[in-house]
Amino acid sequence: MIRLPMYAAFSLLATASAAYYAFSSREQFYPAMVYLSTSKICFVLLLNTGLVAMCVAWQLARRLFLGSLREAEVERLNEQSWREVIEILFAVTIFRQDFSVSFLAMVAALLLVKALHWLAQKRVEYIETTPSVPLLSHIRIVSFMVFLLTVDCLFLSNSLRSLIQKREASVAIFFSFEYTILATSTLSTFVKYIFYVSDMLMEGQWERKAVYTFYLELISDLVHLSLYMLFFIAIFLNYGVPLHLIRELYETFRSFRIRIADYIRYRKITSNMNERFPEATSEELDASDATCIICREEMTTAKKLLCGHLFHVHCLRSWLERQHTCPTCRAPIVPADNGRAASSRQHGAQAGVQPGVFLFLYFSDLISLPHIFLF
């Protein structure tokens, strides 16, 4: 496999030799430029160099803000890229009248920017679940999120400007929509991260965190749902049915529903934590090694679950925000009638990672070729 630096060097060399050839054979600046801008080979070389430059910029940003990637991050990148490429190809068929080189470049940029967003989200999740993260990682992730937000806003204002200038439906609708979604997701991840840091500063005792997180996610889901619908309507009125959006619309709606069910459940368990879970006796504490598996610190008081495992009360509360099974043995924390809800939560948590892949053919009335539609 050719490495990116080598490929970049080759591309640069090829472009430079094309420029050299143009200038040495035409001898004057203007004819040389005409040759460079009309020759097909030069065009391909320049396009290639542009794409390589984008990839190099992407790698630099990734290295600067994230360092080396963890396995889970690489996995997410691979999984999501394919889905995204197919969805973007769909979008391209909708906007094919606007097809141009700059459109292609914008699509490539969008893909790369999106990939950075997935990595940022994954890294924040990792930081939130890892005890004692070094300060440098915090500084890096905060600057990364600020960087992403700036990039989103720049692209968004760019697309909005072209939309306002032309005053007609164009591919700029697509980019405006995509970058609005990206910007709101980054904002929501950032606020969630702030909640996490505040909780950490209060030594994990901030009881309202789950409530605020819930409202944050609810608002962000609502915003996304309305954006998707707006975009759907805009495309429908101007171009036809945006099939590539149906999956995302459905997933956003589903996550919204699961979120509400989860929150109700969480409130039910945590509202009476003191009565629901008995205090561990000092004998029980001695019998176990008195270390809380969630925070790995010693326990002087603890709550006992039905399975007999012991945890700090505040650790248990923050654990319940994410999971409803025992951290040690995975037994359901609330048995019997709530079992169904627990499995639905687990399912919901994995929904983003392992999407069901449905393959079907549809014959678009926009163009006469059959498409393979993955969602």
Question: Which residues sit at the interface with Zn ion, rule CB under 5 A?
Answer: 292, 294-295, 307, 309, 312, 315, 326, 328-329, 331
Among residues 131 and 356, whose Cβ is nearest to Zn ion? 131
Closest by Cα among 224, 230, 118 to 173: 230
The least CB distance from residue 280 to Zn ion, in Å, is 12
111 within 8 A of 85, measured Cβ to Cβ: yes
Return the DSSP state at 371.
Answer: E
The least CB distance from residue 326 to Zn ion, in Å, is 3
- Give the integer Cα–Cα distance in Å for 148 and 142: 10
Distances (CA, A) of 34 to 26, 27, 38, 151: 10, 12, 6, 33
The least CB distance from residue 322 to Zn ion, in Å, is 14
Among residues 166 and 296, whose Cβ is nearest to Zn ion? 296
Secondary structure E strands in the chain: 303-304, 310-311, 359-363, 370-374
Among residues 308 and 355, whose Cβ is nearest to Zn ion? 308
Q: How many residues are given for the chain?
A: 375
3-state secondary structure of 208: coil
- What are the tokens at 302? 């603890």
The least CB distance from residue 318 to Zn ion, in Å, is 9
Among residues 90 and 206, whose Cβ is nearest to Zn ion? 206
Among residues 26 and 276, whose Cβ is nearest to Zn ion? 276
The least CB distance from residue 209 to Zn ion, in Å, is 15
Determine whether 18 is exposed, middle or buried from the number of CB atoms within 10 Å of its CB (0-12, 13-18, 19+). Answer: buried
Among residues 161 and 296, whose Cβ is nearest to Zn ion? 296
The least CB distance from residue 275 to Zn ion, in Å, is 19
3-state secondary structure of 169: coil
